[in-house]
Chain A
Amino acid sequence: MRTIAYRDALREAIREEMRRDERVYILGEDIAGYGGTYSVTKGLFEEFGAKRVKDTPLAEEVIAGAAIGSAIGGLRPIAELMTANFSLLASDQIINSLAKFHYMFGGQSKLPVVIRMPGGGGAQRGAQHSQMLETMYAHIPGLKVVMPATPYDAKGMLKSAIRDDDPVLFIEHELLYSVKGEVPDEGEEYTVPLNRGIVRREGTDVTIVTFSRMVHLSLQAAEELAKEGIQAEVIDLRSVRPIDLDLVLDSLRKTNRVVVAEEGWKYYGTGQGLAALIYEYGFDYLDAPIGHVAGKDVPMPYSKPLEQAALPTRDDIIAAVKAIVPAPAGAGAGA
């Protein structure tokens, strides 16, 4: 095991899969000469050359469209969209074509396309550069939408995504790229499935279900809560479509309480969809209403104090847990 950054783990996955399979190539804005806006693709142009590391003009629709077309023609593209915000310009190709071909053409077409993009706020980039848009894509049948939180998963899931014959949207987070974590040594082959969540921390009093960057805040919250005698179990979904509901329900049977935590907007989002599934399939195990921590219901403001207020925090998670978990015996002032 080594400790490497999330961005380096992604690069290793791409490099290994490109070495393994000639059909794999990457395309996107500023991925070759610039080395990628977040340095994920740095050095790949030098190793694989212009045929397999393709800088495109500033044109998201044709990035997605060309990825789809080249997959039709037998290739296995990895498209990089500079951020999720710009994926909206490619969203017609993603939603109307990429997600539909297999079904609409009666199972004849397969599109092994990976589209990578970072989402998220927290760097004061304002309303048009800070969005979490996984909900929009997770809504669409025909897509797989994954959001790894650790370098280990970033590498293992990207390798799985590249080998998967279905379209996969691979959503990263701008503030995760520098996060470090343990990853097996290079050459030690591993993959991580695209449809399985994972228990990051075991607990008995409440289950925090989360994904992407919020996994880290949830783990911090769990540490704080433990000091007060509340044992939180933290589930990292890793994929928001499909959702590993069994893992969530198994945990719920033990803890009987759930808090859903996400960075994106609350209403009609991934968290509410998940909560609805828990009510539908796990109602009998719930001892309290489901808690929900999410981004504030506003476009992202630029000003630092406003942005900080708009983003969900570790303390929001702690408060949401305390709202549904009875104070442990012996805890609290004077008890």
Chain B
Amino acid sequence: MAVREATLAGLSREQLLNMHYQMVLLRRFEEKAAEEYTLGKIGGFLHLYIGQEANGVGMFSALHPDDYVLSAYREHGYAILKGIDPHAVMAELFGKATGSSKGKGGSMHMYSNEHHLIGGQAIVGAQLVMGAGVGLAIQYQGEHRIALVLFGDGAVDEGAFHEALNLASIWKLPVVFVCENNQYSMGMAVTKAWAVSSLEPRAAAYNIPYRKVDGMDALAMREAMREAREHAVNGNGPFLIESLTYRFRGHSMADPAYYRTREEEQMWKATRDPIALFEEKLKAAGIMRDEDIQATNEKVDALVEDCVRFADDSPFPDPDSLYTEVTLDGAGAIAWRNKPSTPRE
């Protein structure tokens, strides 16, 4: 079979190679970010998505550009996949004025109105309840799109999960909830935190359809997302996907992950790496050759280097920007004192 004509899961070779490119980009981008963090170029918290790339790449390949995405703080990958220029993502990590949130947000707070990425939330569970509200706005205005709400297994423990799913269900809101179950919330193993072994009974409790998916398989994630989106966008209410996945690194750069064994990590990295699995699959189907992989790696490396150069060369925010954008009209706590020219009504 000629390489050019092969397809998989109804996707063209070009589409499949693009998914591969995206996974490699997410991986290399964050490996680089981790290096820059240890050099002190990036501060605060840095939560890496390494190991979970197939989730984002698979899901986002089934989204429409108008769909909203709400997420937690492990969101550099989502930002890039939703269309924010990786240069602006790296610059945000560096705290530079050219960052996607002008340096005010940092790693945990990526956002873009243009791309409908409604930001990283650093408060676990916050995006779930807001996601229901975004779904309400879509339904209210009769729009043909969905809100995709992404969260981890830890967020399920918060009341917000239960309040959001119930509301979305009774109001039939066009929301797709996806739990990327990487089996830990910081050091807490999901087996200790949950009274049940999957989200299936919880979905049933709120009368929401549910799929469990291999989160290391980008094509499986894509299929699940297609089904869920179809369901939600056509007025049938919310959908819950649970993916089984693993973060290869610690919770954040500060976490040495003493709560799990190196053997467990090694097992996942050696046998369940989503990029390696995807490459194997595409090669077996005759869609991808080693040359393609090499070309992708080179292209990604060049892009990531360029992102770092851009971030390095960019200026820090203007000191005056400390006080801008607190409110739209620039108001502080005192109404008049600093604005003598403003007329009193």
Chain B residue at minimal CB-CB distance from A296: B322
Contact of A30 among B105, B188, B319, B334 (CB under 8 A): B188
Which of B303-345 touch A at CB < 8 Å?
316-317, 319, 321-323, 326, 332-334
Q: Does B192 contact A (CB under 8 A)?
A: yes
Name the interface size band of chain B. Answer: 35 or more
Pairs A-B, 3 closest by C-beta atoms: A302-B106, A303-B95, A34-B187
Which interface residue of A58, A60, A88 has the most chain B CB atoms within 10 A? A58
Q: Is A301 an interface residue (CB 8 A)?
A: yes
User: From DSSP, what is the main secondary structure of chain A's interface residues?
Assistant: loop
Q: A49 to chain B: closest CB distance in Å?
A: 15
Q: Which residue of B lies closest to A86 (CB)?
A: B123
B interface: dominant SS: loop
Chain B residue nearest to A62 (CB atoms) is B159
Alpha-carbon gap, A122 to B316, bound state (A)? 17
Chain B residues lying within 8 Å of A298, measured Cβ to Cβ, are: 322-323, 326
Is A74's beta carbon under 8 Å from chain B? no
A127-B109, A303-B316 known; A57-B157 Cβ under 8 A: yes
Chain B's nearest CB lies how many Å from the CB of A178?
A: 13
Smallest CB–CB gap between A266 and chain B, Å?
A: 8
Q: Residue-by-residue, is A309-331 near B (CB-CB < 8 Å gives 1, otherwise 0)? A: 11000000000000000000000
Beta-carbon contact of B322 and A123 below 8 Å: no
Is the beta-carbon distance between A34 and B259 smaller than 8 angstroms?
Answer: yes
Docked-complex contact B154 and A306, CB < 8 angstroms: no
Chain A, residue nearest B40 (CB): A304
Residue B224 is within 8 A (CB to CB) of chain A in the complex: no
Indicate whether B137 reaches chain A with its CB closer than 8 angstroms: no
Tell me the smallest distance from the CB of B227 to a CB of chain A, in Å: 29
Residues of A within 8 A of B322 (CB): 296, 298, 301, 306, 309-310
How distant is the Cα of A35 from the Cα of B257 in the complex, in angstroms? Answer: 11
* A126: interface (CB < 8 Å): yes
Which residues of chain A are near B95, meaning CB under 8 Å? 124, 302-306
* B65 at interface, CB cutoff 8 A: no
Whether the Cβ atoms of B104 and A301 lie closer than 8 Å is yes
The CA of A34 and the CA of B158, in the complex, are separated in Å by: 20
- Known contacts A34-B258, A302-B95; 6 further A-B pairs (Cβ under 8 A): A57-B157, A59-B159, A301-B322, A303-B99, A306-B322, A309-B322
A134 at interface (Cβ–Cβ under 8 A)? no
Is A33 located at the chain interface by the 8 A CB criterion?
Answer: yes
Q: Is B123 a contact of A85 with CB atoms below 8 Å?
A: yes
B residues near A139, Cβ cutoff 8 Å: none
Interface residues on A, range: 35 or more
CA distance A199 to B294 in the complex (A): 67
Residues 120-146 (chain A) with a chain B CB within 8 angstroms = 123-129
22 contacts between A and B (CB under 8 A): A30-B186, A33-B189, A34-B186, A34-B259, A37-B186, A55-B188, A57-B154, A58-B188, A60-B158, A86-B123, A126-B108, A127-B109, A129-B108, A129-B122, A267-B334, A296-B322, A301-B317, A302-B44, A305-B95, A306-B321, A306-B322, A309-B319
CB pair A58–B43 under 8 Å, yes or no, is: no
A63 to chain B, nearest CB (A): 11
Is A80 close to B, CB under 8 A? no
Q: Which residues of A contact B45 (CB under 8 A)?
A: 125-126, 129
Binary interface profile of B, 176-188, with partner A (CB < 8 Å = 1, else 0)? 0000000001111
| CB-based contact A123/B333 at 8 Å | no
Does B193 interact with chain A (Cβ within 8 Å)?
yes
Render A52-67 as a binary contact track against B, CB cut-off 8 A, 1 for contact.
Answer: 0001011111000000
A297 contacts chain B at the CB level, 8 A cutoff:
yes
Docked-complex contact A305 and B188, CB < 8 angstroms: no
Q: Are B317 and A303 in contact (CB under 8 A)?
A: yes
Closest-by-CB residue of B relative to A266 is: B333
Given A57-B188, A124-B44, A129-B122: A303 and B96 interface contact (C-beta under 8 Å): yes
228-263 of chain B: CB within 8 A of chain A: 258-259
Is B130 an interface residue when CB atoms closer than 8 A count as contact? no
Bitwise, A275-286 to B at CB < 8 A (1) or not (0) is 000000000000
Chain B residues whose C-beta falls within 8 Å of the C-beta of A305 in the assembled complex: 95, 316-317, 319
At the interface, yes or no: A205 with Cβ under 8 Å from chain B? no
Question: Chain B's nearest CB lies how many Å from the CB of A119?
Answer: 15
Closest residue on chain A to residue B44 by CB atoms = A124
Q: Is A95 positioned at the interface, with any CB of B under 8 Å from its CB?
A: no
A225 within 8 A of B: no
Name the B residues within 8 Å of A302 (CB-CB): 43-44, 95, 101, 103-107, 109
Q: Is B155 an interface residue, CB under 8 A from the partner?
A: yes
Bound Cα distance A59, B258 (Å): 22
Say whether A192 faces chain B, with CB atoms less than 8 Å apart. Answer: no
Render A73-96 as a binary contact track against B, CB cut-off 8 A, 1 for contact.
000000000000110110000000
Question: Considering the complex, which residues of chain B in the window 98-125 have a beta carbon less than 8 Å from any beta carbon of chain A?
Answer: 99, 101, 103-109, 121-125
Q: Is A126 a contact of B106 with CB atoms below 8 Å?
A: yes
Look across to chain A and name the residue whose beta carbon is closest to the beta carbon of B160: A89
| B99 to chain A: closest residue by CB | A303
The residue on B at minimum CB distance from A268 is B333
Nearest CB of chain B from residue A35's CB, rounded to whole Å: 8
**Contact residues in B for A303 (Cβ distance below 8 Å):** 95-96, 99, 103-104, 106, 316-317
For B124, give its contact among A30, A58, A124, A310 (CB under 8 Å): A58
